[in-house]
Chains A and B, each alone.
Chain A
Amino acid sequence: MKRDTKMKLSDSKFGLLISLPGIIFLFLIVIVPLGMLVVTSVLRYDFLHPIEFIGLQNFYDAVSSRLFWLALQNTIAYTIGVTVLTLAIGLILALANSRIRTLSGLFRTLLILPWAVPAVVSGLVFRWMLDPGVGLINYTLMQVGLLREPINIFGDPSLAMISTIWGYVWTAYPFMFILVLAGIEAIPRELYEAAKVDGARLIHSFRHITLPLARKSILVGVLITSMFSFRTIDTIWSMTRGGPARATYVMGFNLLEYLIDYQNIGLASAVAIIMLLLIMIYALPLMYYVTKE
Chain B
Amino acid sequence: MKTDISPYIVLVIFVSILLSPIILITFNSFKNTSETFGWPPTIVPKEFSLEAYYDVVNSYVPLTLRNSIIISVGTMVVVLAFSIFTAYGISKYKFRGSRQLSFAILTTRIIPPLSLIVPFYILMGWLGITDTFLCIILLETYMNYPLMVWTLKGFFDDFPQDLIDSALVDGCSRTNAFLRVVLPVSAVALAAAAIITFLWTWNEFIYAMIFLSTPDVQPVTVGIFQFVGDEVIEWNSLSAVAVFTSIPAIIFFIVAQKYIISGLLRGAVKR
Contact = CB atoms under 8 A, between A and B. Distances in A.
A237 B4 CA distance: 43
Interface of A: 1, 3-4, 11-19, 21-23, 25-26, 29-30, 32-34, 36-37, 40, 89, 92-93, 95-97, 99-100, 103, 107-122, 124-129, 131, 133-136, 139, 170, 173, 175, 178-179, 182, 216-217, 220, 224, 227, 230-231, 233-234, 237-238, 251-252, 255-256, 259-260, 265, 268-269, 272-273, 275-276, 279-280, 283-284, 287, 290-291
Nearest to B171: A1
A105 B69 CA distance: 30
17 contacts: A21-B82, A26-B108, A26-B142, A36-B122, A116-B199, A116-B250, A116-B252, A121-B246, A126-B21, A127-B233, A135-B41, A136-B24, A139-B41, A256-B114, A259-B121, A268-B118, A269-B118
Contact of B111 (A30, A92, A113, A128): A30
Contacts of A110: 15, 19
A15 B92 contact: yes
Contact of B115 (A37, A131, A173, A178): A37
A182 B18 CA distance: 21
Contacts of B203: 118-120
B235 interface: yes
A117 B246 contact: yes
Interface in B213-228: 221, 224-225, 228
Contacts of B264: 175, 178
A25 B268 CA distance: 22
A115 to B, nearest CB: 7
B85 interface: yes
B54 interface: no
A96 B10 contact: yes
Nearest to A99: B7
A118 B202 contact: yes
A36 B121 CA distance: 11
B48 interface: no
Nearest to B247: A116
Contacts of B94: 12, 15
Contact of A22 (B86, B115, B268): B86
Contact of A34 (B95, B113, B116): B116
Given A113-B19, A117-B249, A25 B141 contact: yes
Interface in B82-116: 82-83, 85-86, 88-90, 92-96, 98, 101, 105, 107-108, 110-116
B111 A276 contact: yes
Given A109-B257, A290-B271, A233 B114 contact: yes
Contacts of A4: 173
Interface string B117-133: 11111110000000000
B36 interface: yes
A210 to B, nearest CB: 14
A281 to B, nearest CB: 11
Interface of A is mostly: helix
A139 B24 CA distance: 14
Closest 9 CB pairs of A and B: A15-B93, A116-B249, A19-B89, A22-B82, A33-B119, A231-B112, A22-B86, A118-B203, A272-B115
Given A120-B203, A251-B114, 13 more contacts: A19-B95, A22-B149, A25-B82, A26-B105, A109-B254, A115-B253, A118-B202, A136-B41, A173-B18, A216-B269, A252-B112, A265-B118, A275-B112
A128 B232 CA distance: 12
Interface stretch (B55-63, B183-191, B237-245): B237-245
B86 A23 contact: yes
Nearest to A19: B89
A183 to B, nearest CB: 8
A272 B120 CA distance: 12
B221 A118 contact: yes
Interface in B124-182: 138-139, 141-142, 145-146, 149, 171, 173-174
B221 A14 contact: no
B89 A128 contact: no
A128 B25 contact: yes
A42 to B, nearest CB: 13
Nearest to A116: B249
Nearest to B5: A100
Contacts of B38: 134
A46 to B, nearest CB: 13
B174 A252 contact: no
A18 B224 contact: no
Interface string B249-270: 1101110010001001100110
Contacts of B22: 113-114, 117
Contacts of A128: 25, 28, 233, 235, 238-239
Nearest to B97: A16
B101 to A, nearest CB: 7
B122 A40 contact: yes
